[in-house]
Structure 1
Amino acid sequence: MTETPIAPPRVIVGVDDSDASRWALSWALGEARLRGMEVLLVHVAPVPPYAAAAGAPGHAAFAGLRDAGGELITRMLTEVREGGCDAARVSGMTLLGAPGDALVRLAREEDILVVGRSGRGLVSRMLRPSVHRHCAAYARSTLVCVSPPTIEALTVPGAPGERHARRRLWRRGPDSGGIPGLGA
């Protein structure tokens, strides 16, 4: 009887072309460096309803979405490599589907899932569901939501009314009782 090797834990970061996503990637790279973990960049392109109704995965709309996601991942991997990160420890993948659901399914319990958190309004969230909220509700892994810092926080340290970059960490597991809270 042969044992299947257990894959080491990874830092999985959901990326798109937003500032929040770039901050999340930056945080993920730093955390992976500290813990000696591999980083997996994941872009999930939401499938438009008309394309899903068309059916076939080979449909032109699907190919275009996958190609655009591949270009984004390639561009971000290039930026990471130019920034001096260990290229062998960073990889990427692009998927089609609901972003929150795909990230939750991909992340295992021992992984760290990192997503950006932007300050979108109510109407925007109604049109496009919040990925970080979906992940907070359903992720089995440790979840880190990274918000971009405000301009004041970057330029004037200690300024009155300064809002620091918010980071939320949820730890799911036997020691947490499934209750969101600060985890290790």
Structure 2
Amino acid sequence: MGVHGSPTSLQALRFALGHARAFDATLIPVIAWEPPGGDSAYRRFPPFLSDAWALEAEQRLLAAFDEGLGGPPTDVPLSPLVVRGPAGQVLVEVADRENDLLVVGKNQRGLLHRLSYRSTTTHCVAHAHCAVIVVQPSRLAVELRHRRSAVRQWQHSLR
């Protein structure tokens, strides 16, 4: 299951935890990270930055547990992973067995972002060798996104 801290990601984390509890399964929360500029830029950075970025990703994963669940669960086996690479590719590689279940949140990004970047959810659905559950954003998350968009439009119209 992919975790990065967005409201939909936290919702997916809660769903995956419920599923792991119901089926007495291990929860493998995954956070993927990439260096700024991708792998081509990665070679230009000093090696110690790689450790710093990986640590930051690990802290985001722990923060997601705090924000989404009030802390890591103690009643389900956990095997968290912090992996360098594109999120969709990493998730598909981790959930590589037929009996795995990959849980991802539905992308809530705007049109411009979706045109510029690959969708992790779309990549997982297209390439996974296991079942994929796409958790839809809550009504509150959708409403907040629309309100933020309306405020931005209103601010832009004042210029």
TM-score normalized with structure 2 length:
0.76
Which ranges in structure 2 are unaligned for 5 or more consecutive residues? 143-159
Structure with the larger RCO, 1 or 2 (CA within 8 Å, 6+ apart): 2
**Alignment-derived partner of residue 19 in structure 1:** 7
Say if 2:86 is the partner of 1:98: yes
The normalised TM-score by structure 1 is: 0.66
Aligned partner of residue 64 in structure 1, secondary structure:
helix
Of Structure 1 and Structure 2, the greater strand share is in 1
Task: Summarize the Cα distance change of 1:45–1:119 in structure 2 as closer, same or farther, 3 Å threshold.
Answer: same
> What's the counterpart of residue 66 of structure 1?
54
2:150 corresponds in structure 1 to none
Change (3 A) 1:33 1:64: same
Structure 2 residue 43 is the aligned partner of structure 1 residue 43 = no
Seen in structure 2, the aligned counterparts of structure 1 residues 45 and 87 have a Cα distance that, compared at 3 Å, is: farther
**Conserved? CA contact 1:14–1:41, under 8 Å:** yes
* 1:32 aligns with one of 20, 31, 43: 20
Contact 1:77 1:91 survives alignment (8 Å): no
SS in 1 for 2:99: coil
Q: CA RMSD in A?
A: 2.8
Q: Cα offset for 1:51? A: 5.7
Deviation, 1:85, is 3.1
Q: Which of 90, 113, 117 is matched with 1:124 structurally?
A: 113
Query: Is 1:136 paired with 2:125?
Result: yes
Q: Quick one: percent identity of the two aligned structures?
A: 28
Code of the aligned partner of 2:139 = T
Aligned length: 142
CA distance in 2, matches of 1:142, 1:122: 27
What residue number does 1:170 align with?
none
Please state whether the residue corresponding to 1:28 is helix, strand or coil: helix
Superposed displacement of residue 48, structure 1: 2.7
Which residue of structure 2 lines up, in the alignment, with residue 148 of structure 1?
Answer: 137
Q: Which consecutive unaligned segments of at least 5 residues does structure 1 have? A: 1-12, 154-184
Query: What is the CA distance between 1:128 and its match in structure 2?
Result: 2.5
- Please state which structure has a larger fraction of its residues in helix: 2
